[in-house]
A and B are shown apart, each in its own frame.
Chain A
Amino acid sequence: GESVGLHLPTLSVQEGDNSIINCAYSNSASDYFIWYKQESGKGPQFIIDIRSNMDKRQGQRVTVLLNKTVKHLSLQIAATQPGDSAVYFCAESGGSNYKLTFGKGTLLTVNP
């Protein structure tokens, strides 16, 4: 079936570096994408979203890039901080109005 998946299960960066987390999706009907951050023992926390009519969207220290041609989504975190250490999930809403399909998650570890 169609799915959302992540290229890298783990990513380790130095504090202050930029981080890039990647995600591939296969559902061609996907038109809405979200990045969530999940810290240990907590629920997913909304970071940023993007609709398919956009290629790029920026938030505070985060940027999401969408390449619909290759069905690829990325999350860029600028000046990564120890507090950014978490599992990051991409999710897509595809043809549904109500549900999110999550990817497997990437564990980001920020070394001081």
Chain B
Amino acid sequence: EPEVTQTPSHQVTQMGQEVILRCVPISNHLYFYWYRQILGQKVEFLVSFYNNEISEKSEIFDDQFSVERPDGSNFTLKIRSTKLEDSAMYFCASSVNPRGMENTEAFFGQGTRLTVV
């Protein structure tokens, strides 16, 4: 069964360092998303991406964050200068279509646990 894959599963980084979280969405999906989940809290939307541009982003997704689809399969989230409060589980998701159409459900990856020390 197709699935969203994320690497690495766990990333430890020093405060102020740049990190890149990687995702391979399901191959026929066209819409890509990043969410994060701080330990014990709810899942929060960061950004959605379609046709090589951001469709929507949240207040969390400030200038320190960026996304990119560098090739036909990968979708990355970059945090330029990590802060302690960036420590969270980061989930990539993808869907065939956006809401309002058929096949709109988003499928999530297993997540990357980011720990900023």
A44 and B94 alpha carbons, distance in the complex (Å): 12
Q: How large is the interface on B (under 10, 10 to 19, 20 to 34, 35 or more residues)?
A: 20 to 34
Q: Given A97-B100, A98-B55, do A46 and B106 touch, yes or no (CB 8 Å)?
A: yes
A15 and B43 alpha carbons, distance in the complex (Å): 28
A41 surroundings in chain B (CB, below 8 A)? 110
Residue B25 lies at the interface, judged by CB distance under 8 Å to chain A = no
B100 surroundings in chain A (CB, below 8 A)? 32, 97
A101 and B108 alpha carbons, distance in the complex (Å): 14
Q: Is there an interface contact between A45 and B108, defined as CB atoms closer than 8 Å?
A: yes
Residue B33 lies at the interface, judged by CB distance under 8 Å to chain A = yes
Q: How large is the interface on A (under 10, 10 to 19, 20 to 34, 35 or more residues)?
A: 20 to 34
Residue A102 lies at the interface, judged by CB distance under 8 Å to chain B = yes
A34 surroundings in chain B (CB, below 8 A)? 105
Q: Given A34-B105, A43-B91, A102-B43, do A97 and B99 touch, yes or no (CB 8 Å)?
A: yes
Q: Given A43-B110, A46-B107, do A101 and B45 touch, yes or no (CB 8 Å)?
A: yes
Contact of B48 among A44, A91, A99, A101 (CB under 8 A): A99
0/1 per residue, A95-106, Cβ < 8 Å to B? 011111111110
Within 8 A of A (CB), among B60-117: 91, 93, 98-100, 104-111
Q: Given A32-B104, A98-B33, do A43 and B111 touch, yes or no (CB 8 Å)?
A: yes
Q: Given A34-B105, A99-B33, A102-B43, do A42 and B111 touch, yes or no (CB 8 Å)?
A: yes
Contact of B42 among A42, A43, A49, A102 (CB under 8 A): A102
Q: Given A43-B108, A97-B98, A98-B48, do A104 and B42 touch, yes or no (CB 8 Å)?
A: yes
A residues neighboring B (CB under 8 Å): 32, 34, 36, 41-46, 49, 89, 91, 93, 96-105
B residues neighboring A (CB under 8 Å): 4, 31, 33, 35, 41-45, 48, 50, 55-56, 58, 91, 93, 98-100, 104-111
11 A-B pairs besides A97-B55, A97-B99 with CB distance below 8 A are A32-B100, A41-B110, A43-B93, A89-B42, A96-B99, A97-B98, A98-B99, A99-B56, A100-B35, A101-B45, A104-B41
